[in-house]
Every structure is written in structure tokens, then in C-alpha cells.
């Protein structure tokens, strides 16, 4: 089905148009809007096609003499993330409206990024998966380094080296899979189970790349710098989509190819997850820069995702997917809001921001909404994933999972403390700025409505992932 390739090809086509036709800034913007809207449409078409299928839609591009050059496939594990990427791609374009330098290049890089990430999610071939995985780094590196804040060079370099080091190890793991699997690079291929010691090596090599990407604690220190220094669109894509590559990779490659090693390693992942939940929340509370606060909150939320995956149950995998989609929407919205604020006040220091709910009520209202979503309020998208994660993890490991409860309380502490510090209180002189514009309202609505929809009906995601995760849980051996 060619339709599988559309979410990748449409942004690429848009990229070509922007490069060729985007002579002035306005035209580059409009072309990017059209391209990202068309990507959303393509993703929805793919979803609708997929619903009529038997669970997997595949597409193979054949080169000369019928050699397959690219294999793509869409299933329940990929589709929610493909849709998320399409939505955030559009928001990232809206968030870049105020970029004034090298506008054409900026949008071209965003579209390239979108195509690359979507390829990661749709790749049905280990080599293509790896190539796309690395290809993501390039546009992101230039976006941070070229359009970021004061310490952008440093942050871009750090981001690149960190994740590159991780994915170098991942590459070795992928090579081991190909070698032991009899040479096939087909991601869905039925291969003989790898010997146990090979599984262990494969799992940890793959996990090295994916856990850095996610990130888990210990290898998270690239994240605050990269998120904070990146331009708004970069932060939105980085937090919203790029982190999900880690969770996706674990469930797509690491667990199915090394189920035994995964089962042995599950408790380590669980410890890392709980650690991230607590540590990330404390770190977020200790920040004075609002953007860094949001960045650290991502560490905590990804802790939930790792913990959910570690449970190895269908419900746990579902919780991980809910957590990833929700975090994509919520962190995307928060970075968008913080970016809009920075454009107006030229500061991210919470000490210099006060009384924003009174000064800019629309911005303030959406900020409070996003904060409540971020702290996992039921009715909004964060809750179902977190709740399921804790219930499943508690079922598997028992009492010590309660340590994560500290993180649940701290999530409310850092979120509401941020609202208290910059949102509430009397008006401050710095706050004399414009409220959200129509364009910004649109971006907030594009993210806000799914946040409510998923909070009320998490089945929207879970019904899509049902088949994929039932199968995955069965591979995992069931606990």
C-alpha cells in the first residue's frame, strides 16, 4: 500500500517545494503550513486505510531488478506516533512564525526532521530504521545550533555526541541481530530466537541507544541543555517526538528480538523508571528557568514510559504508548507556551515573571491547563498512562514501586509552584505584553483538544494498539 509512504513523502515533497519556491519568508511559511497540513491529512488517510486492514499495512519500494530498497509498514505501534508527529510538525511550523533569520532553511530543516522521524516509526527494515534514526540527528543538530538561544553551539554539540555515542552502540546491536538472524534485515521477519547470551548483548546494546534517547536518569544530561537552548519549534519536536523514538525502539526492536534478555533486564528498567520519575520531578522543582523546568519534567514523564515498558504486559505497553502520546501533546504545548512567552518578555527566569494569568489571561489559562495535564490530572491525557503504569508496575513488583508516589506528589509540586510563581500574584511590569494571537490559539487548540479527548477516551489509542501489544506481550513470555 503506497499510502504507508505518504506521511514520509509528503513532508519531503514539502521540503522540496520550500527549497525551490520559498524565495521570500512569507511564501516559505505558507508552503510549510500546507505541507504539514497535508501530512496530517496523509496520516489520517493512512489510519483510515489501516483500520480496514488486518493489522499491518506494508509497502516496499523496489529498485532496479526488483531489489527492495525501502520497506515501510504501519501497525498499531507505529500509527499513534505517526499521527502525533504529524500534529506536532504542524505546531512546530506555527511556532516558527516569528523566526526571521534564514527562514527558508529553518522550515526545510523542520520538514526534513519530520520526514526522518516518521521514517523511524514506519521503517520495516533494520537498516532503514538505523539510517532514519541517525538522519534525525542532522536537522535537529542544525536547528539547535543555528536558531537556538545563547549557548546553542554547546547544546547542539552535546546533543549530537551524546545520542550519537548511544546509537553507535545500537548499531552494533542491530548488526548482531542481522548476523544471528541469518542475514535478513526485515524487521517483521520470523527469525529463530537468538541464543541467550547474544540476546543479552543485543538487548543492552540496543537499549544503550534507546535509553539515551528517551532518556533515563544517568544519561539524561543532554536533555535540559538541548531542550532549553533549542528554538521553540526544536523544543516542541525534541520533547514531543524525538524522545518517543527511544520508547518506540524498545518495543519495536529490543523486546521482540531479545525477549529473554528483556525479561531479565526488566527490573533494571523499572529501577531506572522509578528513579527518573522521582529524580526528574525533584530536578524540575529545583529549576529557576521555566524552560529547564519543562525539560526536566520530561525526564520524569519518560520515567513512567520506561517503567510501563518494563512491566512487559499488554496493559503496560498500552500505558507506555498512552504516556508517550500524552507527553508529546502536553510537553509540546508547554514548550510552545514558554516559547511564546520568551518572544514577548525575552526572559525565561521565573524570578522575573509574575502575575501572567492576570496580565495575559489566555496564555495563563492555557498554561494552567497544560500544567494540570502535565501533573496527570484525570480527565486529561496524562492520567490514563500514569495510572496504568503504576497499577501494572505495582502488580509486578509490589511495594517498592510506591517510591514513584513521591514523584507523583512532586509533579504537582513543581507544576503548581510554577503556576504560583509566574502565573499568580499581582501584575508585574515585565508582563505588559500581548496575549495569545489567533495563530497561537490555533496551535494551542491543535494540542489541547487531543489532550482532553485522550483523557476522556484513552481507548482512542488503546484500540489502535490492541493487536500489536497483545502480540508483543505474548512474545515477552507473559509474567
Q: Are 424 and 357 in contact (CB under 8 A)?
A: yes
Q: Which cell numbers in the block locate residue 243?
A: 524522545
The least distance separating other proteins from the CB of residue 6, rounded to whole angstroms, comes to 24
Of the candidates 3, 33, 417, 453, which one interacts with other proteins according to CB under 8 A?
Answer: 417
Distance in angstroms (rounded) separating the CA atoms of residues 116 and 141: 13
Binding to other proteins (CB under 8 A): which residues in 364-383? 368, 372, 377-379, 383
Restricting to residues 207-236, which ones interact with other proteins according to CB under 8 A?
A: 218-219, 221
Which parts of 153-172 interact with other proteins (CB under 8 A)?
153, 157-158, 160-162, 164, 168, 171
CB of 423 to other proteins, least distance (A): 7
Tally of CA atoms within 13 A in the half-sphere of 239 that contains its CB: 37
Distance of alpha carbon 263 from alpha carbon 329, whole angstroms: 30
Quote the CA–CA distance of 60 and 69 in Å, as a whole number. 8
| Cβ contacts of 378 within 8 Å, gap of 6 or more | 387, 455
| Contact code string over 76-115 relative to other proteins, x by CB under 8 A | ----------------------------------------
Size of the site for other proteins (CB under 8 A): 77
Binding mask 245-284 for other proteins (x = CB under 8 A): ----------------------------------x--xx-
Question: Please, which residues have CB within 8 angstroms of residue 380's CB and are 6 or more apart in sequence?
Answer: 330, 369, 372, 373, 451, 452, 454, 455
Q: Which residues are registered as beta bridge partners of 123? A: 72
In the complex with other proteins, the residue whose CB is nearer, 119 or 185, is 185
Sign of the Cα pseudo-torsion (135, 13, 330, 327, in order): negative
Positions 40 through 79 that interact with other proteins (CB under 8 A): 67, 69
Binding mask 383-412 for other proteins (x = CB under 8 A): xx--xx-xx--xx--x--xx--x--xxx-x
CB-nearer residue toward other proteins: 153 or 434: 153
413 touches other proteins by CB under 8 A: yes
Please tell me the distance from the alpha carbon of residue 75 to that of residue 469, in angstroms, as a whole number.
10
Listed residue (320, 322, 280) closest to 298, CA to CA = 280
- Our finding on whether 178 is near other proteins (CB under 8 A) is yes
5 versus 144: smaller Cβ distance to other proteins: 144
> Taking Cα atoms as reference points, which of 392, 423, 338, 422 lies closest to residue 95?
338
Q: How far is the CB of 312 from other proteins (least distance, A)?
A: 11
Instruction: Tell the smallest beta-carbon distance from residue 113 to other proteins (Å).
Output: 17
Amino acid at each position: 500500500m503506497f499510502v504507508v509512504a505518504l506521511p514520509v513523502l509528503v513532508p519531503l515533497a514539502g521540503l522540496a517545494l520550500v527549497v525551490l519556491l520559498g524565495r521570500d519568508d512569507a511564501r516559505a511559511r505558507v508552503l510549510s503550513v500546507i505541507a504539514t497540513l497535508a501530512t496530517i491529512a496523509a496520516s489520517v488517510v493512512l489510519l483510515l486505510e489501516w483500520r480496514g486492514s488486518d493489522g499491518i499495512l506494508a509497502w516496499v519500494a523496489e529498485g532496479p531488478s526488483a531489489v527492495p530498497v525501502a520497506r515501510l509498514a504501519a501497525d498499531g505501534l507505529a500509527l499513534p506516533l505517526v499521527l502525533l508527529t504529524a500534529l506536532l510538525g504542524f505546531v512546530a511550523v506555527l511556532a516558527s512564525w516569528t523566526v526571521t533569520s534564514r527562514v527558508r532553511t529553518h522550515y526545510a530543516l523542520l520538514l526534513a526532521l519530520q520526514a526522518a522521524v516518521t521514517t523511524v516509526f514506519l521503517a520495516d527494515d533494520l537498516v532503514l530504521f538505523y539510517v532514519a534514526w541517525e538522519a534525525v540527528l542532522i536537522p535537529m543538530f542544525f536547528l539547535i545550533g543555528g536558531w537556538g538561544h545563547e549557548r546553542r553551539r554547546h547544546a547542539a554539540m552535546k546533543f549530537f555526541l551524546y545520542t550519537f555515542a548511544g546509537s553507535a552502540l545500537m548499531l552494533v546491536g542491530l548488526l548482531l541481530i542481522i548476523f544471528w538472524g541469518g542475514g535478513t534485515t526485515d524487521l517483521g521477519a520470523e527469525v529463530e530466537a537468538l541464543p541467550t547470551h547474544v540476546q543479552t548483548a543485543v538487548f543492552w546494546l540496543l537499549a544503550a541507544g534507546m535509553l539515551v534517547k528517551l532518556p533515563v536518569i544517568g544519561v539524561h544530561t543532554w536533555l535540559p541543555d538541548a531542550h532549553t537552548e533549542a528554538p521553540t519549534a526544536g523544543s516542541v519536536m525534541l520533547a514531543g517526538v524525538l524522545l518517543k523514538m527511544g520508547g518506540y525502539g524498545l518495543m519495536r526492536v529490543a523486546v521482540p528480538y531479545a525477549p529473554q534478555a528483556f525479561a531479565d533486564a526488566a527490573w533494571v528498567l523499572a529501577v531506572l523508571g522509578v528513579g527518573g520519575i522521582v529524580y526528574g520531578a525533584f530536578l524540575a522543582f529545583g529549576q529557576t528557568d521555566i524552560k529547564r523546568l519543562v525539560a526536566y519534567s520530561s525526564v520524569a514523564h519518560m520515567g513512567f514510559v520506561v517503567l510501563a515498558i518494563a512491566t512487559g504486559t499488554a496493559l503496560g505497553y498500552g500505558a507506555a504508548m498512552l504516556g508517550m502520546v500524552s507527553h508529546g501533546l502536553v510537553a509540546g504545548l508547554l514548550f510552545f507556551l514558554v516559547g511564546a512567552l520568551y518572544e514577548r518578555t525575552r526572559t525565561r527566569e521565573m524570578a522575573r515573571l509574575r502575575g501572567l494569568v492576570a496580565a495575559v489571561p489566555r496564555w495563563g489559562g492555557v498554561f494552567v491547563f497544560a500544567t494540570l495535564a502535565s501533573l496527570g490530572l484525570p480527565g486529561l491525557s496524562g492520567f490514563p498512562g500514569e495510572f496504568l503504569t503504576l497499577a501494572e508496575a505495582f502488580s509486578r513488583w509490589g511495594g517498592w514501586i510506591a517510591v514513584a508516589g513521591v514523584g507523583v506528589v512532586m509533579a504537582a509540586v513543581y507544576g503548581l509552584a510554577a503556576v504560583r510563581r509566574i502565573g499568580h500574584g499581582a501584575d508585574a511590569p515585565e508582563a505588559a505584553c500581548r496575549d495569545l494571537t489567533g495563530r497561537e490559539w490555533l496551535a494551542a487548540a491543535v494540542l489541547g483538544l487531543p489532550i482532553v479527548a485522550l483523557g476522556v477516551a484513552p481507548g482512542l489509542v488503546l484500540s489502535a494498539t490492541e493487536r500489536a501489544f497483545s502480540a508483543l506481550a505474548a512474545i515477552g513470555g507473559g509474567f
